[in-house]
Amino acid sequence: MAAGVLPIARRAGAAAAQGTPFTIETFMTIAAAGAILIGAAEEAAAVVFLFLVGELLEGVAASRAQASIQSLTQLVPNKAIVEETGQTRSVPVTLPLWENPA
User: DSSP of 16-65, one letter per residue?
Assistant: HHTT----HHHHHHHHHHHHHHTT-HHHHHHHHHHHHHHHHHHHHHHHHH
pTM for the full model? 0.65
Residue 101 to residue 76: CA distance in whole angstroms: 20
Q: Residue 12: which pLDDT band, with cuts at 50, 70 and 90?
A: very high
What pLDDT does residue 72 have? 86
pLDDT digits (tens, 9 = 90+) for 43-67: 999 999 999 999 999 999 999 999 9
pLDDT of 1 > 90? The answer is no
Residue 31 to residue 93: CA distance in whole angstroms: 53
pLDDT of 29 > 90? The answer is yes
